Amino acid sequence: MTRLALVMIVRDEATAIARALRSARDHVDRMIVLDTGSIDETPQIAAAEGAEVHHFAWVDDFAAARNASLALSDADWNLVLDADEWIEDGAESLAASVLPPGGGGFMGVVRRDNLMDHPGAEGAALTWIPRVLPRGVRYEGRIHEQPVGVGRGAPLALRLMHDGFTSENLQRKGDRNEALLMLELQSAPDDPYLWFQLGKEHQVRGRPPQAALCFTEALRLAPLDVPYRHALVIRALTAFKTAGRLGEAMTLADAEVANWMNSPDFWFVLGDLYLECASHEPERALTELLPIAESAWKRCLEIGEQPQLDGTVVGRGGYMAAHNLAVFYETLRKPQEAAKYQALAAALRGKA
């Protein structure tokens, strides 16, 4: 019986799959790759890296493919990776002392740093996702599928990197994801998570009005305690602001501020929101709106980075807030303050 297997579903990932497999190879007992119809060299590269390669006819259903890949594994534990992910650090949490033979009654939740390069979101957004699964867990959901079968999640030190949200990869996969989300929403129109994911698709592809509509629906339908609430609120505020729906953004910010007093992301986007409002209401800018933006970015620095928050963007509790303050003071012709925060931004960026 195998203790730990790497399990992947892939398609046309010749440029990335070797990186993923090499990052995991020394930490697992088997590597299982299920190819869903590649027309490039993905299967051959996977085999050359030591993976067992199997094939599956794609049926527009990620859960079906995930479950088919898990069915190929006899392992007590399965590490699920995508080809555009790789293990960055924390692989010691895959050891037998943490994941004992025979399995366990929990799913391992790991940190994933999503690299992004689209305007306004450069850097890395952090998510926490269950990716180390005991035998018997299966997936549900045509897209943005979720593992089910074990209710308890336990955080592991494992950290993954992911470049699937860069512009190049979004262009390659975005149409497929959007189509599957629309298809899934036809059968589950009241699912807030699907609306949230569709809003994210629109947002990263530069469609603020459509993103704002989807986030509005997600906010209407989602219970207050959903695990993605932080990311939903932050993304909705950004979408409302970018779409010019400033009144709705202010209403949402007022309603949510008590929930996110210690979120650098909330205060960062709040500062951006008040700056945008100041540009539309110059008569209130200096006396009311800009001081709030200033204090919001300073609050980010007081809080610092909070990597445990789902959807947090690295830098909002550090160098990004300091940079905004430097630009703010430079615009107000306060060179000493501007220089102070320029230096702080440089120092914090070096630590990020």
Pairing of strands 52-55, 30-35: parallel
Nearest-angstrom CA–CA distance, 299 and 157: 28
Res 119: pLDDT: 52
The CA-to-CA distance between both ends of the chain, in Å, stands at 41
Whether 347 and 306 map to the same domain: the answer is yes
Whether 253 and 106 map to the same domain: the answer is no
The last residue of one of the domains, among 162, 187, 222, is: 162
Can you tell me which residue has the tokens 């890949």? Answer: 69
> What's the longest Cα–Cα distance across the chain?
72
Nearest-angstrom CA–CA distance, 237 and 272: 10
Whether 121 and 45 map to the same domain: the answer is yes
Q: Give the domain CATH number at 147.
A: 3.90.550
The per-residue pLDDT for range 40-51, each reduced to its tens digit, is 999 999 999 999
Whether 136 and 208 map to the same domain: the answer is no
Rounded (10°) CA dihedral 96, 98, 104, 105: -170
Whether 187 and 155 map to the same domain: the answer is no
Whether 327 and 181 map to the same domain: the answer is yes
The last residue of one of the domains, among 162, 177, 207, is: 162
Contact between 131 and 94 (Cβ < 8 Å): no
Whether 145 and 175 map to the same domain: the answer is no
Q: Which DSSP symbol is given to 65? A: H
Q: Which structural domain, as residue segments, surrounds residue 213? A: 167-351
User: How many domains does the chain fold into?
Assistant: 2
The last residue of one of the domains, among 142, 162, 182, is: 162
Whether 82 and 197 map to the same domain: the answer is no
pTM for the model stands at 0.89
H or E element at residue 337: helix 335-351
Res 302: pLDDT: 98
Q: What is the pLDDT along the chain (352 residues), one digit of tens a residue?
A: 799 999 999 999 999 999 999 999 999 999 999 999 999 999 999 999 999 999 999 999 999 999 999 999 999 999 999 999 999 999 999 999 999 999 889 999 999 999 876 555 556 889 999 999 999 999 999 999 999 999 899 999 999 999 977 666 666 665 788 899 999 999 999 999 999 999 999 998 889 999 999 999 999 999 999 999 999 999 999 999 999 999 999 999 999 999 999 999 999 999 999 999 999 999 999 999 999 999 999 999 999 999 999 999 999 999 999 999 999 999 999 999 999 999 999 999 987 7
Whether 210 and 134 map to the same domain: the answer is no
What token pair was written down for 195? 């609306």
Res 170: pLDDT: 65
Q: Give the domain CATH number at 247.
A: 1.25.40.10
Whether 149 and 239 map to the same domain: the answer is no
134: three-class secondary structure by DSSP: strand
Exposure b/e, 213-232, CB count within 10 A at least 16 = b = bbbbbbbebbeeeeebbbbb
Whether 173 and 102 map to the same domain: the answer is no
Whether 208 and 157 map to the same domain: the answer is no
Res 118: pLDDT: 56
Q: Which of 4, 114, 137 is nearest to 63 (CA)?
A: 137
Q: Return left, alpha or beta for 304; rule: phi > 0 is left, psi -120 to 50 is alpha, else beta.
A: left
